[in-house]
Structure 1
Amino acid sequence: MAAALTPSLIPRSPALQGFLCGLSLTAGYALGGLMRLIWQTLELPRFSESAQRLLLQGAGLLATGLVLASLWLSLGWQNEIRQWMGMAPEQSGRLIVVLAIALAVATVLLLLSRLFLVVAHLVEGRAKRFLSRPLAWMLGVGSAAFLFWSIGNGVLLTRGLTLMDSAYAAVDAVIQTDIAPPADRAKTGSAASLIGWQGIGHEGRNTVAAWPNAAEITGLSGVPAQEPIRVYVGLNSASSPEARAELALAELLRVGAFERSLLVIATPTGTGWLDQAGMAPLEILHGGDVASVSVQYSYLPSWLSLLLAPEYGKVTARAVFRQVYGHWTSLPQDQRPRLFLFGLSLGALNSMLSSDLYEVIDDPFDGALWVGPPFASKVWRDAVTGRDPESPIWRPVFRESRTLRFANRGTGFLGPDEPSQNWGPLRIGFLQYPGDPITFFDPESVLRAPEWLGEPRTPDLPPGLRWYPIVTTLQGILDLVTATQVPPGHGHVYASADYLRAWTDLTEPVGWTPDTLARIEAVLSERGL
C-alpha cells in the first residue's frame, strides 16, 4: 500500500488513490498468503508460536509506520505533479478520504476472497467422496472461479456495457440546440449535402461547426482566407463502413475538396471525436486552403470501442483510405492536393492500419501526423524498438530520421540535427508526450522497470516516480483511465502549440515568421485549445 501512494504519470484524485491503495493492500495480502502456502507445502521449518507472534507484531508496526509516513508524504508528491501541470493543490483532508476508501476497498475484496474460498471448500468437500484430495481441490477452485467469472461477466459486465452502449448512443443522437445546420451549401449537413445533419452525430456536428471559419482565419493572418472544408460521415449516415467511405468520397467531390492545396484523412477517436486543437492550427497555417474528411466508426469511448469491436475502426479507416487514395492517385500529380493522414490516440492507431507500404510505394501520400499513439501500435513500437540505441525511448531517432521523426512537448520535428532537406518525400511524424501513459504503458512493468524510467530520464517525469513490482502496473492502469483529466500539454491532452509546431514542420507553410507563429500560438491558448 505504501508503494501505491508514490507518484505516477498522472495526479490521482482521493477516490482513485484510495481505490489503488485498496487494490495494492489486497495484492500484498494475497502475496503473503501465497508465500505462506508455498512454505507449508514445502514443509519448511516453522517458528514457535511466541516467535510468530513477535514477528507478526514487529511486521505490523513496521508496515503501519511505513504506510502512515507514505500517506503523509503522498500529499506533497501529488501536489508536486499538480503544481507542475498548473492544477490547484489538494488539501490535507484528502488523506482521511484516501485511507477510508482504501480500507473499504480492501475489506470488500477480502470478503469476496473469503467467499471464493468457502465455495471452493464446499465443492472440494463433496468431491472428496469420489476423487483424490488434489483433484478435489482443483475441482473446488475451478468451480469457484467459473461461478465468479460467470457472475462478473454475465451479470455485471454485460449489463454494464449494455447500459453504457445505450447511454452513448443517446448522446450521439442528441442535436445540440446551440449549433444550427449550416446555411453554406458547401458544408456537410447543409440542405445541399449528401449527408444529413442528423446522421453525422454529435461529434460530427461539433467538427463541422468548429472554429475557425474563413473570416476568423483572415483576422488572424491578415490575408484573405478560404472556408475550410470539413467532410464528416456519421455512423448513422450509411449502413456499412464501405458505404460510409463511398459517401465520404462523393461528398468530397461535391464540395471540391480535391481542388484544395491540402487534403487530410482525419481518423477520429472511438466516440467519433476529432481534436480541433489538432486541426485548427493546420487550417490557420494554410489560410483555410485545407479539406479534411472523417468517418465515424463508433460512438463509444476509445477503450470500450477497442474492447468490444477492435476491428471496426481498422475496417472503416481502410475503406476510407482506399476510396480517397484511389481517387487521389487518379489525378495528375500537378493537379492534386498534398495528402496527409492524421489521428490522435485510437484514431492514430487506426490511421496507421489504414494502409500498408505495398499499396502506396509507387505513389506515396505526402505524410502523416500520429499523435499519442497507443502503446500497442505496431508501427510505433517497431520504430521505437529499432531506434538508434543512443536515443531515448521518449525521443527516438529511427534510421537517421529519413522518414519517421518524433516530437515531444515544446519541440518540433526539425532542428539542428534534423534539417528539413534530410526528411524524405514521405514524412511521418509522431507527436508524443513522455508523460503520456496511453503511449508509454508497459504491461511487463509487473516484473521489470519500464524502459522509459531508465536513463537518460526525461524531465517530464515526476522526480519521485520509481518502479515497484505489481504496483507500477496498477498505477499505470489508473493513469490510462485518467490520462485526459489534465490540462493541455500534459498526459494525453495534446496542446495546440505542439500541434502548431508539428504541422509547421510537416507541411512547411509559407509566409509565417516566428513572431506571427507566436501570436497564433497565443490565440490558440486563449481559446483553451
Structure 2
Amino acid sequence: MLGLLFFAASLTPSLIPRGPDVQGVLGGLVTAIGYLIGQIVAFFWRAADLPQLSGRKAQGLTGLIAVPLVVFFLWVLGSSLTWQNDIRQKMGLEPAEALGLVSILVTALVTFLSVYLLGWLVAGLFRLIRSRLGRVMPARRANVLGFVAVVLILFVVTRDGIVDVVVRGLDESYETAQALFENAPPAPVAPQMTGSAASLIDWSAIGKPGRDFITSGPTAEDISAFTGRSARDPIRVYVGRANGDTPHARAELALAELKRQGAFDRDVLIVASPTGTGWMDPGSHDPVEYMHDGNIATVAAQYSYLQSPLALILETNTGLEQATALQDVIHGYWKTLPKDSRPRLYVHGLSLGAWSSMHATNLFRLLDDPIDGAFWAGPPFPSAFWNYVQNQRAQGSTWVLPVIGDSTLVRYASHVSDASAAGAAWGPMRIVFLQYSSDPVVFYDPRSLWRAPPWMRDPPAPDMSAHLMFMPVVTQFQLALDMALSFGAPPGFGHAYYAQDYIGPWVQVTAPEGWTGADTVRLKRHCDMGFQHGCANRQR
C-alpha cells in the first residue's frame, strides 16, 4: 500500500511536464522504493518483537487504510492530465490529448518488476551467504556477517561499474575532442582574431566549442546596422583545455592573447566561465556586444570536454580551479592599470560556468580593487555563494525571486523580471542572478527526501503548477527527473536560458552608455528574428 501511495503521488505535477513513458518509469521506481521501505519497517518491527495484528483486526486496519488510498489514487489519476497540460500550456507547449494510462501502467509495471527482481537477487545472495556461514557459526553471527558481505559485494560491483562507465565516457570524450583537433576547419585569416597565424593560441587545439565562440557573434557591420552608430569588432579570446597543461598556464596564455589584441583598451572586459563541454551560450554574449557597440572583450578558458552532468561529478574541482586561475590572473593584471583608462571588469557564467565563476569570485581578493559586477545565469543548487545569498532574502520575498537587502548590490531576474525594479539605485558593484522558477537545476533540493523545498512553501510562480504537492521520497525523485528533462524545455523555461532574458540583466549589470528601454525592446526583437545561434546571422 505504501508503494501504491508513492505511485499515486508520482502522478502529481512538479516543475517540468512529463510524458507517459517517463511517468511510467518514475511511477514504477517510486512504487518499488515504497514497497522496500514498507518491507524494511516490517523487518525491524518483527525483529523488535512488537505486537502484530492478525485476523479480522488486521483486515479491518487494511480496509481502513485502503479506502482513502483508493480515493486519493482515483483523484490524482483523474486530475493528472489536467495538471500536466496546465504546465505544458504555461510553457507554450501543445496540450496532450490523453494521459496514456496504458503506457504509464505497462512501463511502471516493467520498471517495478525489474527493480523487484534486482532486490530479490540481492536477498537471494544474502540467504546463500548466510546459509554457508551458518554451518560454522551461530545464526546471529551468520546474519550480521552475511549482511556485511553483501554490502561489500554490492559496493565493489557498483564502484567498478561506475568506474567502467566513466572511463568509457572519458575515452569517448577525448577521442571526439582529438578528432575535432585533427579535423579543425581553417584558422581565421584576420590577424586580430584568436587562433589566427598571428595569435598566441594554437587554433587546432582549441576544440569545437571554442572555435564556434571565436568565429560567431556580431561583427562591427552587424552592430552598426542595428545601432546606426560606428562600432568595432568585439574581441573574443578562448583558450582550449589542450592549449595549456595547467589551469594557470591556460590563464597566462589568455592574458597574453588579451594584451596582444588590445583588450585592455576596450570599455568592457568580461571574464566568462564556460559549461562542462566548454560551450559558450551565444544568446548571452551576442546581446552585450551590441549594447556596447563592439567596444568589448570576452575571455574564457575551457576546463573539460565532458557533458555537464559528468563534468559536475568528475571535474568539479577542475572547473573551480580553472575559473579561479583565470580570474586571479586577469584581475591581478587589471588592477595594475590606471583606473581612469582600464576597462570595466565583469564576471559571467551559465550553469556550471556560473558555479565555477561564483567560486572564483573571491571577495577577499576583491577588497582592495573590486570588479564592477557579475552576471550568473542558472546557478546550480550546490553553489555555496548562491545558497548564502538566497538565505539572506528579505522577509516576504519568494525563494525563486528573492529581494536581497535594499537591492543596491544583488538583484534577481527571471523570464518575468529583468532586475530593473528596486527600492534603491545600484551601488558601485552590481550582481545579478538570472534563474527561471521552473529550473530544477537551480531549485532541486536534496533535503526534499524528507521535507518540502523552500519554494514549495511559497505561492507558485507564474510558470509553476498551482497543484504542487510534497510527498517525502517521491518529490525527491520527481525533481531529480525534472533535472534530466529541464535541458529540453522550451526556451525561457527549465534550464533552457535564451537571449531575450539575458538582455535586461546585462543592461542592469553593465549600464551601457545612452541605452534606453526602447533599445532593449529593439534588441529583443532583433534576437528573436529566427537566428540559429544567438543574435548574429553570420560568422565573423
**Normalised-by-shorter TM-score class:** over 0.9
In 1: Cα distance, 2:85 partner to 2:288 partner: 35
- Calculate the TM-score normalised by the size of structure 2: 0.92
For residue 437 of structure 2, the aligned residue among 434, 437, 451 is 434
Equivalent positions of 1:47-446 (< 5 A) are 47-49=53-55, 52=58, 67=73, 70-92=76-98, 94-154=100-160, 156-175=161-180, 180-415=186-421, 417-420=422-425, 423-446=426-449
3-state SS of 1:266 partner:
strand
SS of structure 2 residue aligned to 1:462: coil
Question: 1:5 offset after TM fit, Å?
Answer: 1.3
CA contact (8 A) 1:486 1:493 kept: yes
Distance 2:306 2:377 in 1: 20
SS at match of 1:198: helix
Of 470, 473, 479, the residue aligned with 1:470 is 473
**Partner of residue 505, structure 1:** 508
SS in 2 for 1:334: coil
What code does the residue aligned with 2:169 have?
M
Gap change, CA 1:111 and 1:68, over 3 Å in 2 = farther
Shift in Å at residue 520 of structure 1? Answer: 1.1
Deviates most, 158-167 or 479-488: 158-167
The answer to which of 290-299 and 462-471 deviates more is: 462-471
Tell me the distance in 1 between the aligned counterparts of 2:131 and 2:464: 53
SS at match of 1:335: coil
Q: Secondary structure at the match of 2:375?
A: strand
Query: Does structure 2 conserve the Cα–Cα contact (< 8 Å) formed by 1:172 and 1:203?
Result: no
The DSSP-based 3-state class of the residue aligned with 1:270 is: coil
Q: 1:515 aligns with which of 505, 515, 518?
A: 518
- Structure 1: which 5+ residue stretches go unaligned? none
Tell me: CA distance 1:278–1:118, structure 2 relative to 1, closer, same or farther (3 Å). Answer: same
Q: Is the 8 A contact 1:174 1:202 kept in 2?
A: no
Residues 164, 64 of structure 1: alpha-carbon distance in 2 compared, 3 angstrom cutoff:
farther
Structure 1 residue 270: deviation in Å? 0.8
Q: Residues of 1 paired with 2:23 and 2:189: CA distance?
A: 49
What SS does the corresponding residue of 1:516 show, helix, strand or coil? Answer: helix
Rounded to whole Å, the distance in 2 between the matches of 1:482 and 1:213 is 35
Deviation at 1:65, TM superposition (A): 6.9
Shift of 1:230: 0.6
Give the letter aligned to residue 45 of structure 1.
P
Deviation at 1:161, TM superposition (A): 1.6
Q: Deviation of residue 91 (structure 1)?
A: 4.0
Q: Which moved more, 1:307-316 or 1:172-181?
A: 172-181
Give the superposition deviation at 1:143: 1.4
Partner SS for 1:400 = coil
- Map Cα deviations across residues 255-279 of structure 1 (whole Å, 9 max, x no partner): 1111110000010011101111111
How far off is 1:498 after superposition?
1.6
| SS of residue paired to 1:265 | strand
Does the 8 A contact of 1:265 with 1:321 survive in 2? yes
| Residue aligned with 1:244, SS | helix
* 1:261-318 deviation digits (Å, cap 9, x = unpaired): 0000010011101111111111111111110000000011222112112210111111
TM-superposed deviation, 1:395: 2.1
In structure 2, the CA distance between the partners of 1:99 and 1:439, relative to structure 1 (3 Å rule), is same
Contact preservation (8 Å) 1:269, 1:346: yes
Provide the C-alpha distance between the structure 2 equivalents of 1:20 and 1:192, rounded to a whole number of angstroms.
Answer: 55
Aligned to 1:43: 49
The question of whether the paired residues in 1 share the 8 Å contact of 2:184 and 2:204 is answered with: no
Matching residue's letter, 1:135: R
What residue number does 2:537 align with? none
- SS of the aligned residue for 1:206 comes to helix
Alignment TM-score, normalising by the size of structure 1: 0.93
CA drift at 1:77? 2.0
Aligned with 1:292: secondary structure?
strand
- Higher mean displacement: 491-500 or 65-74: 65-74
Q: Distance in 2 between matches of 1:9 and 1:355?
A: 30
CA–CA distance in structure 1, aligned partners of residues 216 and 185 of structure 2: 10
How large is the RMSD of aligned CA atoms in angstroms?
2.2
Deviation track 1:390-432 (CA, whole Å, cap 9, x = no partner) reads: 32222222232232222222212222x3343xx2212111111
- 2:527 is paired with a residue whose SS is helix
Cα shift at 1:221: 1.3
SS of residue matched to 2:467: coil
- Unaligned stretches of 5+ residues in structure 2: 1-6, 535-540
Aligned to 2:20: 14
Amino acid at match of 1:401: S
- After superposition, what is the alpha-carbon deviation per residue over 1:38-61, rounded to whole angstroms, capped at 9, x for unaligned? 332333333334665676688678
- Residue 141 to residue 470, structure 1, CA distance change in 2 (3 Å): same
Question: For 1:187 and 1:174, how far apart are their aligned partners in 2?
Answer: 23
* Match of residue 490, structure 2, among 487, 492, 510: 487
For residue 119 of structure 1, report the CA deviation from its aligned partner.
0.9
2:341 partner amino acid: Q
More moved, 255-264 vs 176-185: 176-185
Contact 2:503 2:524 in 1 (8 A): yes
